[in-house]
Amino acid sequence: MNSRRSLVSDNQINSQGYWDGRFGEDWEVLGGRQQSRFFGAVALNMLPSWLARVSRQRQLAWCDWGCALGDGTNELAQGLPGVQMTGVDFSEVAIVDANARFPGQHFVTENWLDTAAGSTVAGYDVVFSSNTLEHFHQPWAVLDSVAAHARHCLVMMLPYRERERIEEHHASFMPENIPQFVGDKVLVHVQVRDTRADQPCFWPGEQVMLVWAEPNWLAEQQLYLQDVHLDPEPESTLRAQGDTVANLAAELSGGLAKIRSNVAASSEQTAAMDSIRDALSRWRLVFEAANAATGPAWENEARQRSERDAAVLDEALHKLEPLLLGSDLLTALQDAKRRQQLALNEVQQEVRSRQQLVADASQLLSEVENQRSAADIARVDAERAMQVALRLSEQAIALLGPSVGQQLVEHGPAGDSDDARYQRTRLHLASVDKELSDVYASTSWRVTTPIRVLRRLLSHPVQEIRNIVGKAPRPLQGMARFSARTLRSGRLDPSDKAKLKQMLSPSPRIAMADPSLPVDYSHLPMLAPVNGGLPDVYVWAVIDWNFRTQRPQHLAAALAAKGHRVFYISNNFVDSSDAGFKVEALDQSGRLFQVNLNQAGAPQIYHAMPGAKAVAAIRSSLAALLGWARSNSCISFVQHPYWLEPAQFLPNSKLVYDCMDHHGGFEDNADEILAGENQLIRQADLLIVTSQWLHDELSSSARSIAMVRNATEYTHFSERPSKVFADSAGRRVIGYYGAIAEWFDADLLRKLALDNPDALVLMVGRDTAGVAGALSDLSNVRFVGEVAYAELPYWLYGFDVCLLPFKVIPLTLATNPVKVYEYLSAGKPVVSVDLPELSQFEGLVRLAADHEGFLEQVKLALAEPSGDQALELPRKQFASRQTWLHRATTLDNALVALQEPLISIIVLTYNNLDYTKQCLHSLETYSDYENVEIIVVDNASSDGSQEFLADWAANDPRYTFIANESNLGFSAGNNVGLRVAKGEYLVVLNNDTYVTPGWLRTLRNQLSRHPGAGLAGPVTNNIGNEARIEISYDSMDEMLERAGKYTRLHAGRSFDIHTSAFFCVMLTRQAYERVGGLDEQFGVGFFEDDDYCRRLEQAGFSRLCAEDVFVHHHLSASFGKLKAEARQALFEKNKALYEAKWGPWVPHDYRRPPC
């Protein structure tokens, strides 16, 4: 099987829908949160001390699989401070709640049992799960899948010896079915705990803690016998009391000598014994309550626990008894012992009674089952006899005619039972059915069918057509709806036209099932090369290109006309689980394309923000697109909040939000979409608004804001077409074109039509607000429906007056109406309600504050002489200065003027001048970041570096050179540069590095997206930790090619790293000021980066490794000149310094290849 059904229950219980409902509806009410915290606390108590210690010291990455609403994960995180704790659940309902409730922790929606997802990467050091595995029919198969995500340890806490399972449990865990090996991991810890005595108690039985560990990693931990716990039996609930008794015996024996009959016990001893007695009494109450709350399935465990408890107490009392001979306390102890034995006898008697009850109940149940089986057999025999009788009767009716059935009903014997009358009625219905079947099968019925259909069509045409269409196959139903739309409007709907075009000539596609394999892009449209320094523009669109031509398409086309390569990412996805995309060339320039990304299910973007799975799918498809486009510099131009997260994955990108409307004014916007927009407004590098109202409303929340109003395609609307609409009755035309939606003032339009009965009120556009129906009683109002953008001049030049009949609501107050620019392009008189944005049209639009004023302004506009150039020319001249090409220029200028945060790059040098020259060349060539300062600090080089660097710094005011008089070492030398740096971000960069295109902004964007991170570093070819990737090349040109392929494939990806190597790291100013500079006691080098990462960790900052940034590293160019003995001595010295501060050093590790 290739689906989750091979591992998960097929039943309603335990399905994803079941758990979504549980988590969203009754989880909290039924105590689910408290239960999760209870199990988290129990797990911390049972966790091996060595594993807890190693996890804290080495900052291991833990995953709580099946985390529900995150309460147990939070409990674990508090008990394991410093551990990187991630909660994973397949229920997005649960994860959304967890992220909201615990914002400081990390929760993700993932289905680890979806085998269709491909190979599994061991993404966590430790995978933990509490009380999850029992919900599966095949728990060990599930465990194998889960174990693949764990590098070092698999920790499971499970209900133990649950013989009578609750409804949600499908498996029981016993000593005889728990495996010693899971994958490559061996069982190293078993501990059982009886949780019945816990208060509050959320599990009336036993819990077992199981730890499997990878042997090689386990060997590194150097464990001893005292660390290993393999005990399949729970500790006695009387163990603590027994230990107290034994300790008291030892104290009496060693410190106070023997107490004889003539020696009274001390008050402390008496108090200790009273405490023991109270503890035993409390245990007895808990024991009885637990027994009352559990069923017969627990009887064996209950008896075993009681016997263990009695043995513990007997052992303790025997230790104490010789010391108390003749004392008053001995009697009390013996009484306690007798009471314990009586209690045990009572328990055993109760168990025997229950066993007898169970046996009696089983016997009774067996007898009842036998009787029920006999009754079932009798019922089946009777039913068979009845069916035979009915078939014979039906055959008789078929032979003798339907009248027989009627006679059976009419002439049945008086006083018949209800069942007899029911059977006679069944026979009658059978006779009627036979009669109807004969009629339908007759030749006359078939011949007259068209006549009946025609009669229904004449009497109820609409209903009959719907009946006919409703019975047709789905493709024919879609064709019928298409035909109805076309007949109703008299033309092809533009969206239908686009669909037909795509069906007849489908766009080429890319599917990337395996990202590691080469992709053939040769069949895709011609792609123009990058034009100079112009960045590629990725428009994350709100509508499909072929929907209705509006601002998104106009701006995209204008930017392409200015030389940008523009990739217009449609809101419509390709329904595919493979990464990939579909591309359509929109002109012949090779610079303008519509792209449809792959995403399984092809969801709509308007109603909810994407979940983690959707974001991952979009990122993978985007990587496929980048493999074709090979973009190194991008403008991520977002037009809907849905794209917030994936839009930030583009390499070296500036995030721009094109806020066209006041989204809060739309009736159908979901709360999470509005919340996403607020986040987008705050995070965008540049916020674009279309109106002064939006500018005033949003400027305080934006990092940077610019006004780019709507515009006109002047050449399209300024030329009168050869054919123009004319009313067949010769009436003047008062017209409007555009969307007819919730903001449209139908009352105003009614008044206008009544006020101008001799004019035609012509509405062109799709009506989604039911206005046409509301005004259907007006003979001088005509609704045309939506027309193609190319047809608009035909209608526009038929208008004598153009309208903007909107309601004055928050949505329209924020609107800069594009159609006004187009009306003016044709020189037409325009009448509008008085909206704020209409003031910038230089008095060329007639405005009205109320309905009466609007009607008056229409009268005045109709009175204008037709073709008056004195009136038309100023309108056209104004419109000619408001084109989309003007707006694209405004946008480009705003991006150039954008003040990005200052980044300071500190390059430390010591000799190796050739490396330094290459490094600085790469910085100047590939950083692509204007607001940067480069500070080179030289540690007293003797190879001409200082002279070269002095000349270099003189060439650009952004360059600074500092010459140290002696070699201060790595930490102190970098601190010199860090102290003078002014940037909001600080880069420490070795001189034996070579950066790649767009590295600087991409690294900054990673930190911007992860506010909890204090440091980010790139992947590289040569370093001693997980940042090293498998890559090979023979030249810097080949390096740029292969590194670009890798980073584009991993666009937007990063992972938390324990220790970042300081050959190249970027720090936030906040992290630097809180943590300070590098520790200078490490001298020339070694361990200063480990130390700094521990200090960041201590201050609460995570460290990132950015998979989408590659920096070439020659590795230890300066250290390489040290003799091996000197290097080793320096290493050992600094290691001792490090361990004196932080404890044992954890060696760095390379990343492991995917399983």
Over residues 996-1055, the pLDDT tens digits come to: 999 999 999 999 999 999 999 999 999 989 999 999 999 999 999 999 999 999 999 999
% pLDDT > 90, the chain: 53
Q: Does domain 4-231 have CATH number 3.90.1150.10?
A: no
User: What distance in Å separates the CA atoms of residue 632 and residue 1108, rounded to the nearest whole number?
Assistant: 11
Neighbours of 1064 (CB within 10 A): 25
What are the pLDDT digits (tens) for 431-487? 666 666 776 677 766 667 777 666 666 666 666 666 665 655 545 555 665 565 555
What are the pLDDT digits (tens) for 260-293? 344 455 666 666 666 666 665 555 555 555 555 4
Residues 380-402 have a mean pLDDT of 54
pLDDT of amino acid 296: 43
pLDDT of amino acid 814: 86
Q: pLDDT band at 1128, cuts 50/70/90?
A: confident
Residue reference for tokens 């016990």: 265
pLDDT of amino acid 274: 61
Is 788:497 a contact under the CB 8 Å cutoff? Answer: yes
% pLDDT > 70, the chain: 72
Q: pLDDT band at 10, cuts 50/70/90?
A: very low
User: What distance in Å separates the CA atoms of residue 1028 and residue 238, rounded to the nearest whole number?
Assistant: 55
Q: pLDDT band at 95, cuts 50/70/90?
A: very high
Show Cβ contacts of residue 163 under 8 Å, excluding neighbours closer than 6 positions.
172, 297, 298, 300
Residues 507-520 have a mean pLDDT of 80
Neighbours of 463 (CB within 10 A): 11
Residue 940 Ramachandran class (φ > 0 left, ψ -120 to 50 alpha, else beta): left
pLDDT of amino acid 1092: 95
Amino acid letter, 340: Q
Q: pLDDT band at 24, cuts 50/70/90?
A: confident
pLDDT of 672 over the 90 cut: no
Is 977:953 a contact under the CB 8 Å cutoff? Answer: no
Residue reference for tokens 């916020």: 687
pLDDT of amino acid 1: 30
pLDDT of amino acid 6: 37
Identical topology for domains 718-882 and 900-1142: no
pLDDT of amino acid 7: 41
From residue 960, alpha-carbon distances to 253, 271, 935, 936 in Å are 80, 77, 5, 6
Q: Return the closest-CA partner of residue 287 out of 338, 232, 246, 348.
A: 348
Give backbone dihedrals phi and psi of 385, rounded to 5 degrees, phi first. -60, -40
Give backbone dihedrals phi and psi of 36, rounded to 5 degrees, phi first. -65, -45
User: What distance in Å separates the CA atoms of residue 240 and residue 316, rounded to the nearest whole number?
Assistant: 11
pLDDT of amino acid 729: 93
What are the pLDDT digits (tens) for 695-744? 999 999 999 999 999 999 999 999 999 999 999 999 999 999 999 998 89
pLDDT of 1155 over the 50 cut: no
Q: Does domain 718-882 have CATH number 3.40.50.2000?
A: yes
Q: pLDDT band at 778, cuts 50/70/90?
A: very high
Q: What are the tokens at 786?
A: 């939506």
Domain ranges of the chain: 4-231, 239-366, 497-707, 718-882, 900-1142
User: What distance in Å separates the CA atoms of residue 592 and residue 761, rounded to the nearest whole number?
Assistant: 38
Residue 730 Ramachandran class (φ > 0 left, ψ -120 to 50 alpha, else beta): left
Asked if the bond preceding 200 is cis, omega within 30° of 0, the reply is: yes
pLDDT of 100 over the 70 cut: yes
Is 1053:1108 a contact under the CB 8 Å cutoff? Answer: yes
Higher pLDDT, 1119 or 916: 916
Residues 879-899 have a mean pLDDT of 95
User: What distance in Å separates the CA atoms of residue 135 and residue 9, rounded to the nearest whole number?
Assistant: 8
From residue 651, alpha-carbon distances to 268, 559, 622, 986, 1108 in Å are 74, 19, 11, 20, 7
CATH for 900-1142 is 3.90.550.10
Amino acid letter, 293: A
Q: What share of the chain is helix, strand, coil (3-state, %, to 5)?
A: 50, 15, 35
SS3 60: coil
Is 1085:969 a contact under the CB 8 Å cutoff? Answer: yes
User: What distance in Å separates the CA atoms of residue 1040 and residue 702, rounded to the nearest whole number?
Assistant: 36
pLDDT of amino acid 4: 32
Residue 267: in which H helix or E strand, if any?
helix 267-293
Is 154:212 a contact under the CB 8 Å cutoff? Answer: yes
pLDDT of amino acid 1028: 93
**Range in 384-398, 526-540, 788-802 the model is least confident about:** 384-398
pLDDT of amino acid 532: 82
DSSP states of 121-186 as a string? ---EEEEEEES-GGGSSSHHHHHHHHHTTEEEEEEEEEEES-SS--TT----B-TTT--SEETTEE
Give backbone dihedrals phi and psi of 740, rounded to 5 degrees, phi first. -115, 95
Q: Return the closest-CA partner of residue 1101 out of 1044, 1135, 1057.
A: 1057
What are the pLDDT digits (tens) for 525-559? 999 999 888 999 999 999 999 988 999 999 999 99
Residue 880 Ramachandran class (φ > 0 left, ψ -120 to 50 alpha, else beta): alpha
325: Cα separation from own chain's centroid: 71
User: What distance in Å separates the CA atoms of residue 325 and residue 335, rounded to the nearest whole number?
Assistant: 14
User: What distance in Å separates the CA atoms of residue 451 and residue 447, rounded to the nearest whole number?
Assistant: 8
Q: What are the tokens at 299?
A: 């009887």
pLDDT of amino acid 732: 96
Rounded to the nearest integer, the mean pLDDT of the chain is 82
User: What distance in Å separates the CA atoms of residue 214 and residue 187, rounded to the nearest whole number?
Assistant: 9
User: What distance in Å separates the CA atoms of residue 338 and residue 314, rounded to the nearest whole number?
Assistant: 10
End-to-end CA distance of the chain: 20
Most confidently modeled range among 222-231, 441-450, 1101-1110: 1101-1110
Higher pLDDT, 549 or 337: 549
User: What distance in Å separates the CA atoms of residue 1055 and residue 1057, rounded to the nearest whole number?
Assistant: 6
pLDDT of amino acid 78: 86
Is 961:938 a contact under the CB 8 Å cutoff? Answer: yes
pLDDT of amino acid 1126: 59
- pTM score over 0.75: no
Looking at domain 497-707, its CATH architecture is 3-Layer(aba) Sandwich (3.40)
pLDDT of 405 over the 60 cut: no
**Range in 304-308, 413-417, 1128-1132 the model is least confident about:** 413-417
Q: What are the tokens at 778?
A: 């007006």
Is 1065:1017 a contact under the CB 8 Å cutoff? Answer: yes
Amino acid letter, 1015: L
Give backbone dihedrals phi and psi of 190, rounded to 5 degrees, phi first. -135, 125
